[in-house]
Structure 1
Amino acid sequence: MSAFAAPVVAWASGEDDPSRPLVVLLHGRGSDETEIVGLAGHLPGEASYAAVRAPIEEGGGYAWFANRGIGRPVAESLAATMAWFRTWLDEVAPAGRPVVLAGFSGGAAFAGGLVLSDPARFAGAAILYGTLPFEDAGVPVEAGRLTGLPVFVAQGDQDHVIPAELLSRTWSYLLGASGAAPSARRDTGGHGLTQGTAVELAEWLAHRLAWLTRRGQGPVGMAPEPAGWPTLPGGTLPARTGDRPEVHFRIPQSQLTDTSPPQLQEALFARLSGLDGVDSGPSMISVPGARGLVAPDADGPDDAFLVAEVKEFAHLHPEHDGSLHVALPHDLAADAIAKGWAQSHMWAGVRLSPGFLMVYGPRDEAELDVVAGIVEASHRHAFGRLG
């Protein structure tokens, strides 16, 4: 810490506007703040943009750039540099001012370390052509840790700078077990920011900034004491066995592997469509063939619905998919993700309810009971009867 000088910061407009959310741009190896600050010109004008120079000169970028994995010396450097960065950040963005991180390459690893160390401190993160700090980095990487945090992920399918194994682990974690609401893009190309990625990043950020203006940041991470599941035996959600299925990373979000047998899908729909006060019909938000569950007389909060205007609180996807989308309160959403039953939707907390989840289709009768219990909890949420 004592070896680090005060941060060198480039502001996109020449100065900060503390009345606006802050977006911090973090450069990669061989670059500096004067290059990455130019990205701000392609991003929404509703934020204030700062680019921060890496404090360690060797290598020309953030020294924990994880192209060979992370070892103890690098982990110690990461911890010290995060503390250095947080001292600066907490001065320019005290509690109450939303902060979004956008890191490229080595800066992506640093941004990942920051959000994993303290998820609730940040309102979003863009991990661009880089890896999270895995191995011995000293930051927690467990299931559900980033629930409630919108994340934008971009990678190149011919990136030979970052090892493929690290890119794959980063992609899989952020798009599944982390609980983050993941907007993701894969480019045909290598280790460089493309125009298409810049356009999608700007769109994602515009929606997130608009959400923050309307609604504020909301909870992030695992709840210390989940309220429990009144719709499941013992009030507890068991762990799902096996790996998470493969899920399509673009809209429409759909389950691609390990899908539910058709007869179980029908049994599940029969059970759910028979819940009190529920009507069924074509979903108002999903793909053709998806069956919506609507509670016309429900009086729960808008966040309890996928489409609040028509009170659609869940829907079941067509037979080739068999997964469901539901809306749950934050603590139950995080628990469902951590136990392996669900993952966040890419629009959660960006365009739609923060508790917007995909629940994987049941593979056997025991899982049918559990999945039905999860959806029944969303039904109670719609009527304001949870907690």
Structure 2
Amino acid sequence: MNHFPEPVVAWHGQDNPDLPLVVLLHGRGADENGIIGLANHLPASASYAAVRAPIAEGGGYAWFANRGIGRPIAESLEQTMAWFRNWLDEVAPADRSVLLIGFSGGAAFAGGLLLSDPVRFAGAAILYGTLPFDAGVPTTPGHLTGVPVFVAQGDADTVIPRELLDRTWTYITEQSGATAHPRRDPGGHSLSQETAVELPEWVARRLSH
């Protein structure tokens, strides 16, 4: 069992435990400071936390060891998800609504958390990344029935393998049973202007529930 460091967390202002919690998960090789600014564009009716991934990599941090881009090693993903859930259970008891927003590698991690325990989360945004297929979490038909999932992809994304992007799109929109909010853009591996407009609206609807 790996021994990970204590979580490093950037908060957008003060945490208010009476509000829903939105957790922002950065991409591979980045850190919490690169994504916490997204909270400036999201509804004020939540607390926002960006967590630093536990594995040092390339001047930044990663959520799991992998066997290729977008392909987590199952044992590593299991360990880092357990580490994350220990932190989450401290700041968000089971009766506190938690929404996940992940970008790139953080999208795969958010997807792993959601797939491993769909009841725990109010939904997830899978931004410009893949679900962690073949990595020990269930991806059976109907597994996310009724769970809100925002999925955004760029048609010109050359970072995440196209096979994984297509598999993620098909699973979320056709097979998972999720209440999907899909959007595809002509751009690449970055947040488009259109997604930047639609994501806050989607988050606002989730928070109102």
TM-score norm. by structure 2 comes to 0.95
In the other structure, the counterpart of 1:82 is 81
Distance in 2 separating the partners of 1:2 and 1:130: 25
Residue correspondence of structure 1 range 114-153 to structure 2 within 5 A? 114-135=113-134, 137-153=135-151
Query: Partner letter of residue 124 of structure 2?
Result: A
- Which consecutive residues of structure 1, in runs of 5 or more, have no partner in the other structure? 212-387
| 1:53 lines up with 2:30 in the alignment | no
Contact 1:66–1:131 under 8 Å retained in 2:
no
Distance in 2 separating the partners of 1:66 and 1:198: 31
Structure 2 SS opposite 1:110? helix
In the other structure, the counterpart of 2:167 is 169
In the other structure, the counterpart of 1:185 is 183
Distance in 1 separating the partners of 2:92 and 2:196: 25
Query: Partner letter of residue 4 of structure 2?
Result: F
Residue correspondence of structure 1 range 235-274 to structure 2 within 5 A? none
Residue identity over aligned pairs, in percent, reads 68
Query: Partner letter of residue 39 of structure 1?
Result: L
Contact 1:158–1:189 under 8 Å retained in 2:
yes
Distance in 1 separating the partners of 2:67 and 2:128: 12
In the other structure, the counterpart of 2:106 is 107
Structure 1, residues 263-304: CA drift from partner, whole Å, max 9, x if none?
A: xxxxxxxxxxxxxxxxxxxxxxxxxxxxxxxxxxxxxxxxxx
Structure 2 SS opposite 1:57? strand
- Which consecutive residues of structure 2, in runs of 5 or more, have no partner in the other structure? none
Query: Partner letter of residue 12 of structure 2?
Result: A
Alpha-carbon distance, 1:68 to partner = 3.8
Structure 2 SS opposite 1:172? helix
Query: Partner letter of residue 132 of structure 1?
Result: L
- Does the C-alpha gap of structure 1 residues 55 and 152 become closer, same or farther in structure 2, counting only changes over 3 Å? same
Distance in 2 separating the partners of 1:68 and 1:44: 32
Query: Partner letter of residue 124 of structure 1?
Result: G
Distance in 2 separating the partners of 1:69 and 1:33: 20
Distance in 1 separating the partners of 2:95 and 2:113: 18
| Residue from 196, 199, 207 that aligns with 1:198 | 196
Higher Cα Rg, which structure: 1
In the other structure, the counterpart of 1:9 is 9
RMSD after superposition: 1.4
Contact 1:161–1:191 under 8 Å retained in 2:
yes
Query: Partner letter of residue 97 of structure 2?
Result: P
Query: Partner letter of residue 145 of structure 1?
Result: H
User: RCO (CA 8 Å, sep 6+): is it higher in 1 or 2?
Assistant: 2
In the other structure, the counterpart of 1:216 is none
- Does the C-alpha gap of structure 1 residues 66 and 19 become closer, same or farther in structure 2, counting only changes over 3 Å? farther
How many residue pairs were aligned?
207
In the other structure, the counterpart of 2:37 is 38
